[in-house]
Structure 1
Amino acid sequence: MTQNCIVIVGASGAIGAALTHRFASAPNAQVFAFSRSPKTWEQINIEAGRLDFSDEDSIRQAAKFVAETGPVDRVIVTAGLLHTQTMRPEKALKELESANFEACFLANTIGPMLVAKHFLGALSHQRPAVFAALSARVGSISDNRLGGWYAYRSSKAALNMALKTASIEMARRNKQAIVVGLHPGTVASALSAPFLERVPPQQLFTPDQAAGHLMNVIEGLRPEDTGKLFAWDGSEIPF
């Protein structure tokens, strides 16, 4: 039985942890769970490691560590930033601050693409292999009808463009590589907690539900899907 090599970046977060557990449940899976502060996992087929978006050497070392196992089948970047204790999504131009833009772009654009820089070359050439980063519907320029959330929207739109660009390059180097953005829907997590009051219960997912949806989308992807942005239900979101 062929072993599947899975990499989860942001494994200590709600969706990342749920994806780690789900992928590790397969008997032929070897899962590498990376986060800024590695956690302990009970499953013997989960290897924890450190990866910090603000420290490119940690990303380089993580990729080197994984490469020792062999070709990679899935790399999923789940880490991201919407708010902190001192930062909230902007509702108006007067609220813009350069520090907020810098923080959002590091977490939502620069970090995931540095992971792409060091991990895309490790994707399998023998069967379809996926590099996916969590994006957001609010990062779609054509779907923006409400405004606001300047830094977050902009960083996710930039991520979508960067993933599209990487998909074009990878199509020349690895015909089996699939590079996509994924919108997980609204998930009950620390990231979304302050913004859930008006979300209908049927539109709110637990982290495990979201992970299940995302896995279904990921496992259904084909090389011709590369460069696209998909929602949790498999529908394509226009840029």
Structure 2
Amino acid sequence: MTTGGKASAVIIGASGGIGGALEAALIEEGAFAVVHGFARSRSEAQHIDLRDEASIASAAAHVAGGPVPTLVIVATGLLHDGDSGPEKALRDLDPEWLAQLYAINAIGPALVAKHFLPIMPRTGRTLFAALSARVGSIDDNRLGGWHGYRASKAALNMLIRTLAIEERRRNDRGIVVSLHPGTVDTFLSRPFQGNVPAGRLFDPERAALQLLDVIEGLKVPDSGKLFDFQGEEIPF
């Protein structure tokens, strides 16, 4: 990514498998003056909690004090937690679990956009991306189930579309997208890896490089869309 060494990159969720690999890859690449990694488990200036808007605002203020960010990636997601996980049937719906899924998978990334898009440049190529999932595609839903996760990722995709429209008015070269990383060997996917086809379970490092390759190739007309790890568009 061409930045002239004067810009910064931001990874939200840098303590996770994909987020940590993205942070490491960008640091190794050396194209950015600063790579900011934020996570709920990190402390002080690197702390962010998607359920706490004040922490998001604080993180954005910290980034705004240095080189301008031209790349922001929200690499967070919630699929299961303790005894709570993907629903197999309608009878399994639980309002508290649904609220948690929406808070992390849709509302949190939207709040990151609220505070980070305004500090990104108003001219030149910028990119804001959030990790979504193929199962969040309404058009691609053939199996049903996983109601809350599907719906919260579909909500994220709609938010990305609307954010992209608004961002185009602020910076006509700004790109806002959802990205599907595939099935990655992380805590999020571990209980559900049994049916993954051979060669389709990626380690975080490979997933990160694939996503960065996709990001590199995105153009302004791609803004507001969902792309997989091969750069193929997934219909909403």
**TM-score bracket, shorter-length normalisation:** over 0.9
Is contact 1:32-1:48 (8 Å) kept? no
Answer yes or no: is 1:184 the counterpart of 2:184: no
Q: 1:208 aligns with which of 200, 205, 209?
A: 205
Q: Match for residue 5 of structure 2?
A: 2
Three-state SS of the structure 2 residue aligned to 1:212 is: helix
Q: Match for residue 17 of structure 1?
A: 20
**AA paired with 1:106?**
A
CA–CA distance in structure 1, aligned partners of residues 175 and 45 of structure 2: 25
Three-state SS of the structure 2 residue aligned to 1:201 is: coil
1:208-231 deviation per Cα after TM superposition (whole angstroms, max 9, x unaligned): 110011000111112111101000
User: Which sections of structure 1, spanning at least 5 residues, go unmatched?
Assistant: 40-46
CA–CA distance in structure 2, aligned partners of residues 71 and 121 of structure 1: 11
Q: CA deviation at 1:172?
A: 0.7
**AA paired with 1:49?**
Q
- Note the 1:122-201 alignment, pairs <5 A: 122-201=119-198
Distance change (3 Å), C-alpha of 1:235 and 1:48: farther
Q: CA deviation at 1:28?
A: 3.8
Q: 2:42 aligns with which of 38, 41, 47?
A: 38
Q: CA deviation at 1:48?
A: 6.2
Three-state SS of the structure 2 residue aligned to 1:54 is: coil
Answer yes or no: is 1:223 the counterpart of 2:220: yes
Q: 1:57 aligns with which of 50, 54, 58?
A: 54
User: Which sections of structure 2, spanning at least 5 residues, go unmatched?
Assistant: none
Is contact 1:73-1:129 (8 Å) kept? yes
How many residues get paired? Answer: 232
**AA paired with 1:35?**
A
Q: Match for residue 106 of structure 1?
A: 103
Q: Match for residue 30 of structure 2?
A: 27
Three-state SS of the structure 2 residue aligned to 1:31 is: strand
Is contact 2:123-2:171 (8 Å) kept? no
Three-state SS of the structure 2 residue aligned to 1:230 is: strand
**AA paired with 2:133?**
A
Q: CA deviation at 1:4?
A: 3.2
CA–CA distance in structure 2, aligned partners of residues 205 and 70 of structure 1: 32
CA RMSD of aligned residues (A): 1.3
Q: Match for residue 89 of structure 1?
A: 86
Is contact 2:165-2:224 (8 Å) kept? yes
Is contact 1:33-1:48 (8 Å) kept? no
Q: CA deviation at 1:122?
A: 1.5
Q: Match for residue 44 of structure 1?
A: none
Q: CA deviation at 1:35?
A: 0.3
CA–CA distance in structure 1, aligned partners of residues 31 and 128 of structure 2: 19
Percentage of pairs with the same residue: 51
**AA paired with 2:8?**
C
Which deviates more, 121-130 or 77-86?
121-130
TM-score by length of 1: 0.94
